[in-house]
Amino acid sequence: MAGVTAGPEWAAAAGAASASGSGPAAEPVAPGRGPALAFALGSGALHGWAHVGIVRGCARAGLKPRAIAGSSVGAVVGALWAAGLPAEEISRIARRLEWPSTAAGLTALLGARRRNHALREEVERAVGGRQIQQLPVRFAAVASDALTGDSVVVDAGSVGLAVEASCAVAALNEPVPVGNRLLLDGSLTAPVPVAAARRLGAARVVAVDVAYRPYEEAPTSASDYAYQAMHIIGNALAREQTRQAEHVIKLDVHHLMHKRLDIDALIAAGEAALLELAPRLMPR
């Protein structure tokens, strides 16, 4: 059974006890040179290609995180990174997946919701069927309890199931049963899962925020304004959560998608941002 712990992100970040958790508390990251470094990879749908650039930038800079927490698309990239896959392989896997865009529209509500079995199975193959606790780097996926609204940290059990739960968009996907909970997209409660990264034992957290910004594209229709409202709420929550991190990478990359999805440019943007920050992340 997956290890799950629920509780408000702000409370966890402040060191408070998690509310109604059902999994064991995470063991601290093993000691090493310098404070343990973790990445909190945020939600952002197709913007999440920038996370692949974060992975590539860390490889170029010689940075190896000791823990990774991911929310939604950040959980996909984070799980593969924690499994030891290089950026090039993560990119190849991601190109095989079907990625929903927020441009899908509210008409998706009129269609049948479904489980994202393809995502779960692709991730399971990529990590060789290992459990979360068997990955070489500590990992947690963050999801949201569909019945209580709690933010839920999944840090044990099936990697694919944890990632599927973290990516379960309410308008498109059925809630994913994990333990005794029904879980939806992590972006609803933890768009940038800093508290989850801290829970894995990190002394320093790099928060990577790739969300859609309200100012990046003006709404022109009723459905656009509905999505704009969601982005306003999500960005406000992300601002609160990133304040708990020692380092923040905030990327505005929607312009790289206006006319066509430029995956290479998105990856390059993430890599450039990481390399700019890298000197401050080196062990002292």
- Is residue 79 within 8 A of residue 163, CB to CB? The reply is yes
Which of 273, 281, 204, 252 lies closest to 56, judged by CA? 273
Which residue do the tokens 């896997």 mark? 93
- Is residue 227 within 8 A of residue 260, CB to CB? The reply is no
Tokens of 75: 């959980």
Active-site residue, 185 included:
yes
Neighbours of 55 (CB within 10 A): 28
How many residues in the chain? Answer: 284
Active-site residue, 72 included:
yes
Choose the catalytic residue: 72, 144, 151, 166. Answer: 72
Q: 126 φ, ψ to 5°?
A: -65, -35
- Counting other chains too, the contacts that 99-102 makes at CB distance below 8 Å and 24 or more residues apart are 99/45, 99/46, 99/73, 100/45, 100/169, 100/172, 101/45, 101/46, 102/45, 102/212, 102/227, 102/230
Choose the catalytic residue: 145, 150, 155, 185. Answer: 185
- Tell me the longest C-alpha to C-alpha distance in the chain: 54
- Return the active site residues: 72, 185
